[in-house]
Structure 1
Amino acid sequence: MTVLAPDYQCILGVLEQQRSTGHGPLRAKEIAVELGLDATSAKVEGLRSKARRPAERGWLLLEASGAFSAGRRTVAVPDVGSFA
């Protein structure tokens, strides 16, 4: 996780803590509150944008409901023989 920028590490840290205590996914507003940010639209939208980036790269999961959770998504790796 240290390869990520500090903002992303904080988001993943909150989600890891939620998972370790048995809680489910969090919405962007809930993550903002956990990080001590104001729950204003600007802060929440900025955090949602930052959370989507690691979700797109498989570092965390974006649920269908729009909530985020810790975990890695399986990424398909092409067969080595297919490059021949």
Structure 2
Amino acid sequence: MAIVGHSRIRHLALPERSRRSLQRLIETAPDEWRLLFVRDSRDRRWTLNSADLQYTAMFAPAAHTLELTFDIFSTEFPCWKSGWQIS
């Protein structure tokens, strides 16, 4: 996976359906979600959501320069969806 961008969004700014989906995956919803936009080895786009702000911030400066395997992200990014999406 290659990181191609990053973003953040407040939990309460998400549509209700998205908030419920994300909250089912973690114990307590954060005030803000961090997002990484990545491409996999087949050039498919993915959005990875994380409540761990510091962990995600480590990767933001490395966008376009890191190639990582998905298992690195699976614990810190409990939710992912195809395409590049903020909501």
TM-score range, shorter chain: under 0.3
Query: What's the TM-score once normalised by structure 1's chain length?
Result: 0.25
Query: What's the TM-score once normalised by structure 2's chain length?
Result: 0.25
Question: Which structure's CA Rg is the greater one?
Answer: 1
Could you say which structure has the greater relative contact order, defined with CA pairs below 8 angstroms and 6 or more residues apart? 2
Whose strand proportion is higher, 1 or 2?
2
Whose helix proportion is higher, 1 or 2?
1
